[in-house]
């Protein structure tokens, strides 16, 4: 994590949504105890190893660890294709716990070299597998936007976990001994096992199903690709390789001094815990307080060179004094400082800067680069240094400090050479990204001076496309961008200048106001003057634009008039006169310009002019006049617009104007909808008008219509969901509607089953009832989306649309985890992908079937018993009665002859005529 991400993690944790907080907290704690256990395992393993074996055997561990890491990553990759991510978490957790148990069981063999080699080497495998399973799960749980907020929170558990593990070691090792620390590690692993069940029972994890997340298994081909592929990735991989090699050599030397200094395992384990805990604490402080500022001030190249140069100076000091002094303590402390500086600077500076350096790369290359740095170069460094040092120990068992010093100096020099080249390739990658417009400012942050200077130069020398790409990137960055915008305004391209002006308004760069005033008077910027005036007015409404009101360019004059009249604190006589002049002008474009300004001003001052132009001979003028009338919301004018809409066949212009009226037209709309009972094409258009409005009053009218005309739920509910995604104060109303819908659906299943069993030839009615069931399903899903998790219900709808057995099963599983059981279970029983007979048998166990007959079914449909049936369904029922004796008197059919539905009305008239 970078310093910025750690600072953001604190805020992110406070801003985590309630639905995410439980998931994030459980992930944090779950990872915390595993991290503590792994820290304790390492402390125990390294202590026992150094107590029993010479330091010169450590290269063998390095060498064997490389193969073990490659094999573990390969096996993990193969298993991921067979098991889901949640199962992989359990497999890794059980494996790591089993490893701790096995080492506890064989702890009596601590004096055997094979056990010590296996024990210390296993630490790297445990750490790798823990990272793979945890981040594999986290990457599936959170989308891109969530990961930006939450990854810093869940990843923050690593450093505190390690600190906790080392603190436990410090306090417990004097009392329980080094070997028994494994019991503490086992307890931590068991706590994670206990936390596993509550973790996977969370809905977010259940919904993953059998999704897997694959990682590229590292191998020789991948290493070759790293060295021959993208140049920036190659250089960064080599920097990462040499930095880890240096750490391994430094640790080898320092561990030798530790072995000599501490004779008992308890004192050695305690020292390791204090030293490593201190390293983590200092790392945390540097990340929070220094890293980001360092990159911003020094740039990427200098930031990457800070670590090797500091280590080079400390290394030279260590070698100088160690070869000249006989004081063991002096040498011990010097190499202790070197080891601490190497570890801290690598974690706190080197790794964050390496990751930041890959930001200009396309997403797929950036992800591949991360894999190469951690999954390939780390094991390769173990392999290379383990092999080299192993060979040296075969010739000299004591391994002279001078030789190790030369190796370390050589590695640091190589580190410096490759780190110094990063800036060149980073700039090239950034230039390519700008040229290809592949940078997405939402996902990267460019704050270092070198990169900002490159962008600054591009604004002057780049092509129009490149400059706009740079400006687009800068727009998503924080900080003072005035200098960049000023440079952009000097570009020769008018398109670039126009884009900069929009950014200046968006970013409220008021410091550029003097520059904008000069630009407005420059004849070379005539084309941009309207936009310049708009930008100036957005910063200073008192600005005097009277000099532009009578400009020869109509667009400049319009911008000046608009800006002056939008100033509600002062009266601008020249602008007022110009606007009234346009209202009575003969030219169509001047009338339209005046109407646009009057609509935007929205102060009712120009209502007479607007009403007059609503009768203009020109259609475009009339359209703009009606729009201006709608925006002004003048009651008599709104009524006239509404009457035009109701009484005009081609009503699109009046309807568009009514949308602009907003809350001023809602009372008239409500009265009309209630009068017409939401029937007909006009009502549908008015319902959509309400749905498109985000106003609370519009939602209230829709809810009232839904309450009064539940039979129109199929039309009203989708309209509500156009702009609203929650029930608000109508939760009880929606829940009551769901309950009645599901009750009706159950009785419809009974009716369909009855007809299939007793009257299978009535296919028309059966299919009509199936359509009713489908409508109920859609209504329930719309209501669910307003009450519960909208995203999950959207996925449910998609599953039903695919209409495969598997997709419907997955959709119903989402209903099970997202909707309360009182609604979810009956919904699942009614709409599962099975035969009507099977549904009927299952439903009978919970809901008693009422006595059914064909006549009862017909009467229930025609007279809306417990449910408002569609006109089509009623028409089908009447149609099957055309040649039969009516089960009731003709007077009961008579009301249908006055139905709004022409089909139902004509069918009813035919039945009466035949009877």
Average pLDDT per consecutive 10 residues, the chain (915 residues; last block may be shorter): 42 40 69 86 88 86 86 78 78 89 81 83 83 64 43 54 85 86 90 82 60 46 57 84 89 84 84 85 75 66 82 85 70 82 82 74 66 74 87 68 84 90 77 61 54 69 75 69 80 82 84 86 85 86 83 86 77 82 88 87 82 87 86 83 83 80 85 84 86 83 86 83 76 90 90 88 89 91 88 87 83 86 90 87 83 84 84 86 74 80 84 77
Cβ neighbour number for residue 694 with a 10 Å cutoff: 11
Cβ atoms of residues 61 and 120 within 8 Å: yes
Cβ atoms of residues 559 and 534 within 8 Å: yes
DSSP state string for 289-300: IIIHHHHHHHHH
Half-sphere exposure for 231 (CA within 13 Å, toward CB): 12
pLDDT number for residue 767: 92
Please identify which residue in the block is written with the tokens 């249908």.
896
Tokens representing 248 are 């391994």
Cβ atoms of residues 232 and 428 within 8 Å: yes
SS3 893: coil
pLDDT number for residue 554: 85
pLDDT number for residue 774: 92
DSSP state string for 96-142: HHHHHHHHHHTGGGTTSHHHHHHHHHHHHHHHHHHHHHHHHHHHHHS
Secondary structure of 452-480 as H, E, C letters = HHHHHHHHHHCCHHHHHHHHHHHHCCCCC
Please identify which residue in the block is written with the tokens 């709309």.
669
Tell which residue, 745, 740, 768, has the closest CA to residue 827. 745
Distance CA 374, CA 191 (A): 28
Which are the contacts of 704, defined by CB distance < 8 A and separation ≥ 6? 670
Radius of gyration of the chain (CA): 38
Q: How far is CA 17 from CA 24, 140, 149, in A?
A: 10, 18, 10
SS3 847: coil
Cβ neighbour number for residue 610 with a 10 Å cutoff: 26
Q: How far is CA 782 from CA 724, 726, 746, 747, 823, in A?
A: 11, 10, 19, 21, 13
- pTM of structure: 0.56
Q: What is the distance, to the nearest Å, from the Cα of residue 370 to the centroid of all Cα atoms in its chain?
A: 20
Number of H-type helices and E-type strands within the chain:
45, 0
Distance CA 350, CA 337 (A): 18
Distance CA 280, CA 160 (A): 8
pLDDT number for residue 65: 87
Residues shown for the chain: 915
Task: Give, as one character, the DSSP assignment of residue 444.
Answer: -
Tokens representing 600 are 């935007």
Element holding 434 (H helix, E strand): helix 401-436
Long-range Cβ contact pairs of 467-474 (< 8 A, separation 24 or more): 467/491, 467/493, 467/496, 468/495, 468/496, 468/499, 469/434, 469/435, 469/437, 469/439, 470/434, 471/496, 471/499, 471/500, 471/503, 472/437, 472/439, 472/441, 473/434, 473/439, 473/441, 473/446, 474/441, 474/503
Q: How far is CA 599 from CA 592, 593, 602, 607, in A?
A: 10, 10, 5, 10
Cβ neighbour number for residue 244 with a 10 Å cutoff: 24
Tokens representing 876 are 């089908």
pLDDT number for residue 289: 65
Distance CA 494, CA 897 (A): 67
Q: What is the distance, to the nearest Å, from the Cα of residue 304 to the centroid of all Cα atoms in its chain?
A: 31
Distance CA 244, CA 308 (A): 11
pLDDT number for residue 413: 92
Distance CA 423, CA 451 (A): 9
Tokens representing 492 are 């020769």
Please identify which residue in the block is written with the tokens 């290359």.
365
Cβ atoms of residues 156 and 10 within 8 Å: no
Cβ atoms of residues 27 and 147 within 8 Å: no
């Amino acid at each position: 994590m970078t310093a910025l991400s750690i600072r953001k993690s604190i805020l992110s944790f406070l801003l985590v949504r309630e639905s995410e907080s439980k998931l994030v907290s459980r992930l944090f704690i779950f990872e915390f105890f595993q991290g503590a256990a792994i820290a304790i395992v390492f402390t125990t393993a390294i202590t026992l190893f150094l107590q029993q074996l010479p330091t010169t055997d450590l290269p063998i561990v390095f060498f064997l660890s490389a193969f073990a890491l490659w094999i573990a990553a390969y096996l993990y990759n193969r298993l991921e294709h067979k098991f889901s991510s949640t199962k992989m978490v359990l497999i890794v957790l059980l494996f790591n716990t089993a490893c701790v148990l096995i080492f506890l069981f064989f702890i009596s063999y601590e004096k055997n070299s094979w056990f010590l080699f296996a024990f210390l080497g296993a630490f790297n495998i445990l750490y790798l597998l823990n990272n793979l399973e945890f981040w594999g799960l986290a990457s599936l749980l959170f989308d891109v936007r969530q990961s930006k907020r939450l990854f810093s929170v869940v990843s923050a558990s690593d450093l505190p976990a390690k600190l906790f593990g080392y603190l436990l070691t410090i306090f417990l090792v004097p009392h329980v001994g080094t070997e028994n620390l494994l019991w503490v590690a086992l307890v931590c692993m068991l706590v994670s096992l206990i936390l596993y069940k509550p973790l996977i029972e969370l809905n977010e994890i259940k919904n993953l199903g059998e999704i897997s997340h694959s990682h590229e298994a590292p191998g020789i081909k991948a290493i070759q690709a790293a060295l021959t592929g993208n140049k920036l990735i190659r250089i960064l991989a080599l920097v990462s390789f040499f930095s880890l090699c240096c750490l391994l050599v430094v640790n080898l030397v320092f561990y030798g001094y530790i072995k000599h200094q501490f004779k008992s395992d308890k004192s050695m384990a305690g020292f390791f815990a204090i030293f490593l805990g201190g390293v983590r604490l200092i790392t945390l402080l540097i990340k929070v307080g220094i890293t980001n500022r360092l990159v911003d001030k020094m740039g990427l190249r200098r930031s990457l060179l800070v670590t090797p140069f500091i280590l080079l100076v400390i290394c030279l000091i260590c070698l100088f004094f160690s070869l000249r002094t006989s004081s063991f303590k002096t040498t011990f402390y010097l190499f202790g400082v070197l080891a601490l500086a190497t570890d801290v600077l690598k974690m706190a500076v080197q790794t964050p800067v390496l990751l930041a350096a890959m930001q200009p790369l396309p997403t797929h290359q950036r992800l591949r680069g991360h894999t190469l740095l951690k999954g390939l170069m780390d094991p390769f460094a173990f392999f290379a240094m383990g092999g080299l040092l192993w060979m040296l120990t075969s010739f000299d068992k004591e391994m002279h400090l001078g030789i190790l010093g030369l190796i370390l100096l050589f590695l640091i020099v190589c580190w410096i050479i490759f780190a110094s080249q990063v800036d060149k390739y980073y700039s090239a990658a950034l230039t390519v990204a700008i040229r290809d417009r592949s940078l997405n400012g939402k996902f990267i942050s460019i704050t270092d001076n070198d990169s900002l200077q490159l962008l600054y130069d591009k604004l002057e020398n780049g092509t129009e496309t490149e400059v706009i790409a740079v400006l687009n990137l800068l727009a998503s960055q924080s900080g003072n961008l005035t200098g960049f915008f000023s440079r952009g305004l000097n570009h020769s391209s008018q398109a670039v200048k126009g884009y900069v002006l929009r950014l200046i308004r968006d970013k409220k760069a008021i410091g550029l106001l003097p520059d904008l005033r000069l630009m407005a008077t420059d004849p070379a910027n005539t084309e941009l003057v309207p936009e310049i005036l708009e930008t100036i007015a957005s910063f200073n409404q008192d600005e005097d634009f009277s000099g532009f009101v009578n400009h020869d360019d109509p667009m400049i004059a319009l911008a000046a008039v608009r800006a002056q009249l939008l100033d509600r604190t002062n009266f601008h006589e020249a602008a007022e006169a110009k606007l009234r002049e346009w209202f009575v002008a003969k030219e169509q474009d001047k009338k339209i310009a005046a109407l646009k300004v009057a609509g935007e001003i929205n102060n009712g001052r120009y209502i007479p002019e607007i009403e007059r132009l609503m009768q203009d001979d020109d259609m475009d003028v009339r359209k703009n006049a009606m729009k201006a009338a709608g925006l002004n919301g003048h009651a008599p004018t709104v009524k006239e617009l509404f009457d035009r809409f109701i009484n005009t066949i081609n009503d699109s212009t009046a309807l568009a104007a009514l949308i602009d009226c907003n809350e001023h037209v809602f009372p008239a709309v409500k009265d009309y909808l209630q009068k017409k009972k939401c029937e007909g094409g006009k009502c549908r258009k008015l319902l959509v008008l309400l749905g498109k409005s985000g106003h609370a009053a519009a939602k209230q009218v829709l809810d009232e219509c839904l309450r009064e005309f539940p039979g129109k739920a199929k039309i009203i509910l989708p309209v509500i969901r156009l702009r609203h995604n929650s029930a608000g104060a109508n939760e009880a109303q929606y829940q009551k509607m769901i309950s009645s819908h599901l009750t009706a659906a159950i009785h419809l299943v009974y009716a369909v089953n009855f007809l299939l069993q007793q009257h299978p030839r009535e296919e028309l009615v059966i299919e009509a009832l199936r359509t009713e069931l489908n409508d109920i399903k859609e209504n329930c899903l719309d209501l669910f989306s307003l009450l519960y998790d909208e995203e999950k219900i959207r996925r449910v709808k998609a599953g039903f649309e695919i209409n495969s057995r598997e997709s419907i099963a997955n959709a119903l599983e989402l209903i099970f985890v997202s909707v309360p059981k009182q609604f979810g279970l009956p919904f699942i029983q009614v709409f599962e992908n099975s035969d009507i007979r099977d549904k009927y048998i299952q439903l009978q166990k919970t809901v008693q079937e009422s006595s059914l007959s064909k006549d009862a079914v017909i009467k229930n449909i025609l007279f809306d018993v417990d449910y408002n049936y569609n006109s089509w369904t009623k028409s089908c029922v009447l149609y099957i009665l055309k040649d039969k004796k009516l089960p009731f008197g003709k007077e009961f059919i008579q009301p249908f002859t006055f139905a709004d539905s022409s089909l139902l009305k004509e069918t009813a008239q035919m039945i009466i005529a035949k009877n």
